[in-house]
Structure 1
Amino acid sequence: MGQASRHASERTGSSWLARVSPFVASLRGYDSTRLKKDLVGALTVTALHIPEGMAYAQLAGLPPQAALYSTPAALALYALFGSSRQLIVAVSASVSVLSAATVGAMAQQGSPRFVALTAALALMAGAVAALAGVLKLGRIAQFFSASVLSGFVFGLALIIAIKQVPKILGIEGAKGGFFERLGFIFTHLGQTHVLTLIVGAASIAALLLLGRLSKRIPAALAVLVLGIVVSAVLHLDAKGVAIVGPIPSGLVSPQLPHGVGLKDLLGLLPGACGIALVAFAEAIGPARMFAAKHGYEVDPNRELVGLGAANLGGGLFRGFGMGCSLSKSAANDQAGSTTQVASLVTAGLTLLVALFLTGLFRALPEATLGAIVVVAILGMMDVKELVRLFHLRRGDFLGAGVALLGVLAFDVLPGLLIAVGVSLFLTVYRASQPRMSELGRVPGTLDLAATHREASAITLPGLHVFRPEEGLFFANATSLRDEVLTRVRDADVPVREVLLDLELTDDLDVPAADMLAGLHEDLSHRGITLALARVHRPTWRMLERTGVLAKVGPEHIYPQVAAGVEAWMAHHESQAWQEWRLIRDGLYLLRSRVDEAGAGLHGEERHRQEDLLVRLDEADRRMRELLNHLPHAPSGDDDPRGTRH
């Protein structure tokens, strides 16, 4: 093989690897400076990940070591297949609670079956996300209202917090939904273990204080270490304070969960879809923000594949569902991380902890773990965002409120379905509204503008030019037809032609095409012509295949709206002052072009140009006289161009 062929083969292989793994492309130009920044980012993320991972494992209903076993694979797989260079995909509070809620309905927490179903759920969530990425369904995120999801996340944060309160109070944990747990806590406050409450409250205070003092201090790790030291020195377990206890060291081998049948998988499917959706929804926003900040692109479909790979890795190592960690991603970015190497190093450091350092966590108080979770999810309770929605748009606030209350009243999975349902309802409802503008000519120009935005825009009597402000499709077709007929019926001057500007309709489905056919018939019965302008090629083909083109007539389809207006004027005898003003403004614009073109002319050509200008001025003078004698015509003082001569 020649050298040129060898280089071509290497380029092809590199290109193939870059398509499969965005990580390869991020390593171009990698040097020691970037490595140093990535190592700092990895150490920062590890300091946050160890305590939060152990706490979130308990949120998912698993022992703390489950996070140490499963997250290294998740971190490494997302680093290889995800497209964001700063995002940290590992444990997630929202995904952990979704996992516990799904599996808790099918098995007793703490049982081997619960562990097996949790791993199966992570595997299914990974498969769902990866398949969605392969099928290029990343754009589905735009159909879910960020306002509604903010309400869902707020409600989820409240559920997470209420589950940690018994640990901090040292009382028995309640079961049931949010309000049942809240009622249980209030009725059992008298059983509060004072020393446990002191440990939990002190942990929360230390976390908040350290967070305010410096963003560089890993507050969660510092409080975790402090909690372990105090607990060991004072023997808090002997005084009634619950501790984590012995944590097995080592690793588990990758394996498929045992004893999970087809019926179980069907029962887990809604939760798997929910985890895939929530993980993607909370990841895509930060991923795009980091990409914009550092000047690269993220691919939503790649993000789905990366999240799917992370969940598959977590499930294979008997773990739980994985998602985006906002706090660790932000810390990773602030530390200066430039590539996914930070995630790979974090995975390695977590493996070292799982192999050799689990014994250090034996004396850790459960109240401290609960405090770490509560402080970590405070950012999910975005009160300012809800207040902003309330002041800006009550509809968005209502959607967020419905999602929030749905989570609290019906638990996580039904709440997720409510949030998704509200988002889809708002999408369909807004799409079904007839958003249509009537176009008129801006005085002094031949430009068209929406009459509700440009008050001076002039319309031609008998001709209505409408532009749908979004593409025509089945959801808005009927309402748009009704709106056109209503405006035609309520017009002050009898309408003789309706010209539809279809610029925003890139494609046309069958129901929308049928609507145009029906609209043509409705208008024809009223003696009104239907014309179309700016019809894109896919729309033209659909009109042709459905027979609408033959009904409307190719002679009534125009490349530009202006061409349709000109055709209207040419085929109708009655010319109102609006039409004469259009002709006069056209003459004025022609005169301006002739004047500009004559700047460099000399001799005979200059004389011809001056003669043409004189004739155009004479035509303009006659037009002004005509306009002054037409009924309802504005006076010359109303001319927005003012005096030109």
Structure 2
Amino acid sequence: MRQRSTTLARPSAVIPLLGSMRGYRPGWLKRDLVGALTITALLIPEGMAYAQLAGAPPQAAFYACPAALVLYALLGSSRQLVVAVSATVAVLSAATVSALAPSGSAHYLALTAGLAILAGLISLLAGVLRLGRIAQFFSPSVLTGFVFGLALVIAMKQVPKLFGLKGAGEGFFEQLWFVLTHLPESHLPTLLVGASCLVLLVVLERISERLPAALVVLVLAILASHLLGLQARRVAVVGNIPAGLAAPRLPDMKWSDVLALLPGACGIALVAFAEAIGPARMLGARHGYTVNANRELIGLGCANMGAGLFQGFSIGCSLSKSAANDQAGARSQVSSLVAAGLTLLVALFFTPLFRALPEATLGVIVVVAVSGMMEVGELRRLFRMRRPDFLVAMAALLGVLVFDVLPGLLLAVGLSLLLTIYRASLPRLSELGRAAGTLDFVDMRHQPSAHPLPGLMVLRPNEGIFFANAESLREEILERIQRSPRPVRTVLLDLEATTDLDVPGADMLADLHEDLETQGVTLLLARALAPTREMMERTGLLEKVGRDHLYPHVLSGVVDYLARYAPYAEEERAFFHDGLHRLETLAEEVEDSMPAEERDQLERMRQKLRQGESVLEEPRDSGPH
């Protein structure tokens, strides 16, 4: 208890930034400043564009991003990850709020801010409750398909802007059909602006990864808009963006609004975490520090709460800005803190410069940014490597396109859970055999040279035993006995993978013992961990199977089995010969340093092996058979 209090009292345990700043070198400051400039150069155009994806005005990005950058830098465990704006999260926000309020209305903006706060609270609570392991239950294959589909939805929302079309409908296919059928009505000046920006942005990104291509295109588009009078030519522009910052306040919402936003908030918290934890761990491994999943939940949660309190919108991790920050040489969270300050300066003094920015330019920036989310290569790899993974990825992709974003997210989460349950429920059994010349028992599928001992079947449930797979494991074990080319006298179950046996699992083992007993087959158990053994005691399983049939090691059970029968097979002769030789060598090496209990166990095993070897030396019964 004292240790826990000491840990919580450490400032670095509450604010990871303090821990990462230990040993900070003056030479790193230059790299962090370059990283900050790079983040800001990417953040300004993308932030304005993603604000529109969320259904908020462009200035909402300047409200949300500084708070998010600062809070994540203080409380997140990654030193290079940039948490500010995310196209995925912005679209999820719009999909949630648009069903509750007219887009652009005061109520819509209040709900958007409230959604960010609610998603942040959920993420913060998950981090405090140490639920960081939920990331491993979100299938990467399903996430690949979901993000790909979401990227298509995001891009399709921007396409009408590039052609100067309005009233494109709601769903992906409805928007696609609208664009295809209204191409003749495209506004030529807008189309030229969009095409020029698209070509220039792609070319600049290919020239140099470190060049802030989006910012360059944004500046050139503003200059062209002024020089060519694009607004007079009916090219849609951003218009007036109020300078300054929004004061922090709680959004005006009712409890009914909170309940209506709750499903979307859960989805945003889950997706934001799933989107961030992979890049965060990758960057941590690259720079030699550990990323804590629970701290990531807390950092993301507080960042979202800050964005909402400052009347912004839901935020998340930006992979492109994180990669650019890392490539710029950033060594700590200082780059995010300085980027927050630079973004504040832009919000206070430079927003009037964006008045003439064409909407088509923002659309192009979004399309190019999300194109990196369309991982065609990863889908091809899934298709080549494992078709079921490819099929669930495509199901998640099509779910987003057909059913829209939130239903698509629910489908993706449902598929991940179903995959987890399905794989856990499969009777994954390994049959173990003795590796030649050793006392090691290994999976015979991976080492074909390993052989079973006659009459003994050694099996290991690889996923552990619990309610979802208990019955299928029992059926599989009985079927293997029936299919065995040799008669089976004894089944030895290696329970090492069963970390926490539940009641249905214990009941299954009791039923299996009875089934085998009726067939004249003995059930032995080995390597039961302490929680598993306690459950076996409470359920009476140990009494049914027999305490003398539970062994600390597989080898102990094998030796005991062989000592009970007259062994004449070649495999058994080799086992005793190799076993005695190996045990004698082991005893000479470590016996003096072993505890008394282990020395006694070693001596008992040697005696059993000698007993078996002495049986081998007895003359065979030459009577009639």
Q: Deviations over 1:296-332 (max 9, x none)?
A: 0110000000000011011111111000011111111
CA contact (8 A) 2:8 2:14 kept: no
Shift of the 270–596 alpha-carbon distance from structure 1 to 2, 3 Å rule, reads: closer
Whole-angstrom CA distance in 2 between matches of 1:77 and 1:384: 35
Give the structure 2 partner of residue 603 of structure 1: none
Equivalent residue for 1:167, pick from 161, 164, 168:
161
Measure how far apart 1:527 and its partner are: 2.1
- Quote the residue 2:492 is aligned against: 499
96, 118, 141: which one aligns with 1:124: 118
Query: Kindly tell me: are residues 70 and 458 of structure 1, through their superposed partners in 2, closer, same or farther at Cα, counting changes over 3 Å?
Result: closer
Report the CA distance between 1:490 and its aligned residue.
2.2
Is 1:94 aligned to residue 88 of structure 2? yes
Tell me, in whole angstroms, the C-alpha distance in 2 between the residues paired with 1:626 and 1:455: 33
Q: Which amino acid aligns with 2:305?
A: L
Specify the SS of the correspondent of 2:10: helix
Q: Distance in 2 between matches of 1:442 and 1:235?
A: 81
Change (3 A) 1:534 1:373: same
Q: Which residue of 2 aligns with 1:111?
A: 105
- Counterpart of 2:75 in structure 1 is 81
Which amino acid counterpart does residue 413 of structure 2 have in structure 1?
V
The separation in 1 between residues aligned to 2:160 and 2:96, in whole angstroms, is: 21
Counterpart-to-counterpart distance in 2, 1:304 and 1:444: 50
Matched, 1:484 2:477: yes
CA distance in 1, matches of 2:587, 2:81: 60
Map 1:524-539; keep pairs closer than 5 Å.
524-539=517-532
- The answer to whether residue 513 in structure 2 is matched with residue 520 in structure 1 is yes
2:294 counterpart of 1:301: yes
Name the residue aligned to 1:139. 133
8 Å contact from structure 1 (residues 38, 338) kept in 2? yes
In the alignment, is the contact (CA less than 8 A) between 1:57 and 1:63 conserved in 2? yes
Counterpart of 2:186 (choices 188, 192, 199) is 192
- Given the alignment of the two structures, is residue 45 of structure 1 paired with residue 39 of structure 2, yes or no? yes
Moved more, 13-22 or 270-279: 13-22
Query: Amino acid of the residue matched to residue 173 of structure 2?
Result: F
Aligned partner of residue 430 in structure 2, secondary structure: strand
| 1:186-244 deviations in Å (ceiling 9; x for gaps) | 11111100110110111111111111111221101100000001101111000010000
Structure 2: which 5+ residue stretches go unaligned?
A: 591-611
Give the C-alpha shift of residue 620 in structure 1.
9.8
One-letter code of the match for 1:198?
A: L
Q: AA paired with 2:188?
A: V
User: 1:445: how far off?
Assistant: 2.2
Q: Does 1:411 align with 2:401?
A: no
The structural deviation recorded for 1:622 is 12
- Inter-CA distance 202–624: structure 2 relative to 1 (3 Å threshold): farther
Distance 2:313 2:198 in 1: 26
* Closer/same/farther in 2, CA of residues 625 and 208 from structure 1, 3 Å limit: farther
Structure 1, 23-32 or 327-336: larger mean CA deviation: 23-32
Q: What SS does the aligned partner of 1:499 have?
A: strand
Counterpart check, 1:564 vs 2:557: yes
- 1:384 matched to which residue of 2? 377
Aligned mates of 2:177, 2:515 — CA distance in 1:
62
Contact 2:7/2:13 (8 A) holds in 1: no
Distance 1:142 1:620 in 2: 49
Which of 245, 255, 262 is the matching residue for 1:262? Answer: 255
Secondary structure of 1:474's aligned partner: coil
* 1:205 counterpart (194, 199, 211): 199
Q: Aligned match of 1:395 in 375, 388, 398?
A: 388
- Secondary structure, in 3 states, of the residue corresponding to 1:232? helix
What corresponds to 2:419 in structure 1? 426
The 8 Å contact of residues 116 and 315 in structure 2, kept in 1 or not, is answered as: yes
Structure 2 counterparts to residues 222-261 of structure 1, below 5 A = 222-258=216-252, 260-261=253-254
RMSD across aligned C-alpha pairs, in angstroms? Answer: 2.3
1:460 Cα deviation after fit: 2.3
Secondary structure of residue in 1 paired with 2:157: helix
1:3 aligned residue:
none
User: Residue 361 of structure 2 aligns to which amino acid in structure 1?
Assistant: T
In structure 1, distance between residues paired with 2:619 and 2:587: 24
The TM-score, its normalising length taken from structure 1, stands at 0.89
Given that residues 567 and 615 in structure 2 are in contact (C-alpha distance below 8 angstroms), is that contact kept between their aligned partners in structure 1?
A: no
CA distance in 1, matches of 2:580, 2:19: 58
CA distance in 2, matches of 1:69, 1:459: 68
Q: What's the TM-score, normalizing by structure 2? A: 0.92
Aligned to 2:441: 448
**Do residues 220 (structure 1) and 214 (structure 2) align?**
yes
Displacement of 1:621 in angstroms is: 13
User: Whole-Å Cα distance in 2 between the matches of residues 326 and 82 of structure 1?
Assistant: 15
- 2:321 is paired with a residue whose SS is helix
Does the 8 Å CA contact 2:82/2:318 hold for their aligned counterparts?
yes
Question: What is the percentage of aligned positions where both structures have the same residue?
Answer: 63
Question: How far does residue 566 in structure 1 lie from its aligned partner after superposition?
Answer: 1.2
Pick the structure with greater CA Rg. Answer: 1
Supply the AA of the counterpart residue of 2:436.
Answer: P
**Alignment check: 8 A CA contact 1:167 1:173 kept:** no
**Compared CA separation, residues 596 and 513, structure 1 to 2 (3 A):** closer
The secondary structure found in structure 1 opposite 2:469 is helix
| 1:461 and 2:454 are equivalent in the alignment | yes
SS across alignment from 2:458: strand
Equivalent residue for 1:612? none
5+ long unaligned stretches in structure 1: 1-10, 598-618, 630-645
SS at match of 2:562: helix
Aligned counterparts of 1:115 and 1:563: Cα–Cα separation in 2: 68
Q: Tell me the CA shift for residue 624 of structure 1.
A: 10
Map Cα deviations across residues 1-42 of structure 1 (whole Å, 9 max, x no partner).
xxxxxxxxxx97996210101001111122321122111111
* Correspondence 1:55 to 2:19: no
Paired with 1:395 and 1:490, the residues of 2 have a C-alpha distance of: 28
